[in-house]
């Protein structure tokens, strides 16, 4: 059966993360049978990491504050989490299913596919966002 997405509710969840006033910094998009729906949401990155268990696959839209000594800015990441125990068929489908998520989640600086818990390290992801962010003035702060 082809995967579908609940665009309306996923768009609402996406907009929660983009809103500067509510404190929501991440939301997951999970599978409910063959439909992608909003999952959990929260305000701390550590909470998000606990949702990444070995038996699931999910997408996450996450807000990070990045920058350097002269410039702080908000950047967004789209993370595809594929747990170690996810079947080969489900792994194969996630690539095509991601296009459904990208119809809703359209504004992000970096897209990552993560299958290992060590790659969920917040500093690693912020580093990837920093690389994608352009100018870096850290070297000038002496």
All structural domains of the chain, each given as residue ranges with its CATH number in brackets, are 4-134 (3.40.20.10)
Residues of the chain with pLDDT under 70: 67-68, 133-142
Which H or E element spans position 76? strand 72-82
Other Cβ atoms less than 10 A from the Cβ of 29: the count is: 26
CB 77 within 8 A of CB 111: yes
Q: Could you give the CA distance from residue 24 to residue 137 in angstroms, rounded to a whole number?
A: 29
Q: State how far the alpha carbon of 37 is from the alpha carbons of 61, 129, 142, in Å.
A: 13, 26, 48
Q: Give the per-residue pLDDT at 137.
A: 55
Lookup result for tokens 């989490």: 81
Q: Give the per-residue pLDDT at 6.
A: 97
């Amino acid at each position: 059966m082809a995967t579908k997405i609940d665009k309306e509710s996923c768009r609402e969840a996406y907009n929660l993360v983009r809103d500067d006033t509510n404190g929501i910094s991440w939301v997951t998009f999970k599978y409910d049978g063959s439909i992608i729906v909003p999952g959990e949401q929260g305000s701390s990155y550590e909470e998000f990491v606990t949702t990444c268990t070995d038996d699931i696959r999910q997408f996450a839209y996450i807000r990070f504050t990045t920058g350097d000594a002269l410039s702080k800015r908000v950047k967004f990441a789209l993370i595809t989490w594929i747990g170690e125990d996810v079947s080969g068929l489900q792994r194969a489908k996630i690539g095509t299913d991601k296009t459904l998520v990208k119809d809703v989640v359209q504004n992000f600086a970096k897209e990552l596919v993560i299958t290992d818990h060590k790659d969920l390290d917040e500093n690693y992801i912020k580093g990837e966002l920093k690389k994608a962010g352009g100018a870096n003035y850290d070297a000038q702060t002496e």
